[in-house]
Amino acid sequence: MATRKKVLLKVIILGDSGVGKTSLMNQYVNKKFSNQYKATIGADFLTKEVMVDDRLVTMQIWDTAGQERFQSLGVAFYRGADCCVLVYDVNNAKSFETLDSWRDEFLLQASPRDPDNFPFVVLGNKIDMEDSKRQVSQKRAMTWCAQKGGIPYFETSAKEAIDVEKSFQTIARNALQQESDVELYSDFPDPIKIDGDSSRQSGDAGCAC
């Protein structure tokens, strides 16, 4: 029996500070949520192995800083990405309005081979809040995604774990469609297990989330 090939996917999460990027990543990978907010410094990543359409996929999910003063650090982290996740807070109109600049900046810095068809996924986070606080309608967000070539759109809650798993399955599946740009390994080693309650691996510019 042939060895099943494992796929390593690099996923970048972008969006304004405070929209829930770190919380979404932690909910998906560790099934945990914290009410204590701490801004990400630079970038950090977690890995998770998942099955997608009978393929064993290792997702390397990069959580990047949303503050403008750290955006210059993003260049090195963007390169080699297989999918980009744009996150905004449905209760914060400004965080939605900056999605255009996040998307443009990513395409500029990452320089994907086929920018017109590069897979993006948009997440409207924090839908667990009261409806009265909502500033961005589902229709408005879906219209924006349609105008950008039909970007998949999900409304999520990192706190309540609403559609987090579902959205990341779509993220993995869309990244896999970039088959020619994905590194394939027939004998990919098992991920290194780090002591502690998560598989966090971070470089010099890590964060305590």
Contact yes or no for 1/107 (Cβ under 8 A): no
CA gap 209, 38 in Å, rounded: 6
Provide the token pair at 89: 């807070």
Phi and psi at 108, nearest 5°, equal -70, -45
In this prediction the pTM is: 0.80
* CATH domain 8-31+46-184 topology: Rossmann fold (3.40.50)
CA distance linking residue 33 with residue 26, whole number of Å: 7
Query: What is the structure's pLDDT at 140?
Result: 98
Q: What is the CA 59 to chain-centroid distance, rounded?
A: 10
Q: What is the Cα–Cα distance from 51 to 169, expressed in whole angstroms?
A: 9
Residue 100 or residue 45, greater confidence = 100
pLDDT digits (tens, 9 = 90+) for 46-102: 999 998 878 888 999 998 766 554 455 556 778 889 999 999 999 999 999 999 999
Residue 134 has pLDDT above 60, yes or no: yes
For residue range 148-188, list pLDDT tens digits in order: 999 999 999 999 999 999 999 999 999 988 754 444 444 44
